[in-house]
Amino acid sequence: MTVATATLAVAAHPLSSAAQTRRAETGMQTLAYGTDRLQQLDYWAGASRNAPLVIFVHGGGWQRGDKRMMLGSAKLRHWQAAGYAVASLNYRLVPDATVEQQAADVASAVAYLKANAGGLGFDARRIALVGHSAGAHLVALAGTDPTYFRAAGLAMNDVAGIVPLDGAGYNVPDQMGENERLMGNTYRQAFGTDPVRQRALSPTLHAAAPNAPAFLILHVQREDARRQSEELAAALRRAGTDANVQGFAGRGLRGHAQINRRLGEPDYPATPVVDAFLTRIFAR
């Protein structure tokens, strides 16, 4: 069966949510990449032992969320139908951990998976990082500030590409001011009040440094997400990094949730855009 045929088969015969979750759990391994109870990931093998790997980092305002949100999701079904191996990460959460430790967790998980690629059965040269919301910020930070990958023993090109989904923390000082009324407390808990630290946690302000090879930055029609996504892409391009940005329908928190929930559905417009990006970076 071809990948296209497999994808159509999944779309034509959708399973119930409970059945999707049961099927996903059957082929899932839960692995520890560190000693903390949250330094764990769920892993699904790909269609072959040289399959590319897509790693997903959940959102939740840096304070909540869980790797098991991937179970039964359209993303998981779609990426499995494409033959990819898939991993979904947990990471330590604010306030028990810092955002710096969260970005370090993302890098440590990539390093763990890459070191164990032979046993897990995927191509260690073809890894993509995808993150939503706070996860979008974390994958963008790890992909622009080499501090995190270097500490984990990685080079910036140890991932083939980064896909942030509707993040808005790429320039933290700007975001803190803009969202004081709605999200001010969440941002203060994550980033504190020290402008130096806020800048250090801003992917846009690291984009002149060595970066991951390619970025696809997606957003819905939230003004802060649109502007910050475009500014991050522009900063990456000035540094000579392959970076594209694209917007999709959807407003407010509903649209913000939709791009994560519906990605992978065949009729959702962002699905073929992400598909094309993954195909391109995995072919390099």
pLDDT at 221 over 90: yes
Whether the model pTM is above 0.85? yes
What is the model's pLDDT at position 77? 97
Burial zone of 37 (CB within 10 Å; 0-12 exposed, 13-18 middle, 19+ buried):
exposed
State mean pLDDT over 101-117. 98
Confidence of residue 227 (pLDDT cuts 50, 70, 90): very high
Q: Which residue has the higher pLDDT, 9 or 182?
A: 182
Q: Which residue has the higher pLDDT, 5 or 208?
A: 208
* pLDDT cut 90: percent of the chain above it: 83
Which residue has 């000035």 as its token pair?
238
Query: pLDDT tens digits, residue range 242-274?
Result: 999 999 999 988 999 999 999 999 999 999 999
What is the model's pLDDT at position 185? 85
What is the model's pLDDT at position 282? 98
CA distance 73 to 20: 8
What is the model's pLDDT at position 134? 97
What is the model's pLDDT at position 8? 30
pLDDT at 14 over 50: no
CB atoms within 10 A of CB 168: 27
Terminus-to-terminus CA distance in the chain, angstroms? 24
Query: pLDDT tens digits, residue range 118-168?
Result: 999 999 999 999 999 999 999 999 999 999 999 999 999 999 999 999 998
Which tokens sit at 64? 């909540």
What is the model's pLDDT at position 25? 67
Query: pLDDT tens digits, residue range 168-183?
Result: 899 999 888 655 555 6
Q: Which residue has the higher pLDDT, 1 or 239?
A: 239
In terms of Cα–Cα distance, which of 138, 139, 136, 137 is closest to 127? 139
pLDDT at 202 over 60: yes
pLDDT at 200 over 80: yes
CA distance 74 to 108: 26
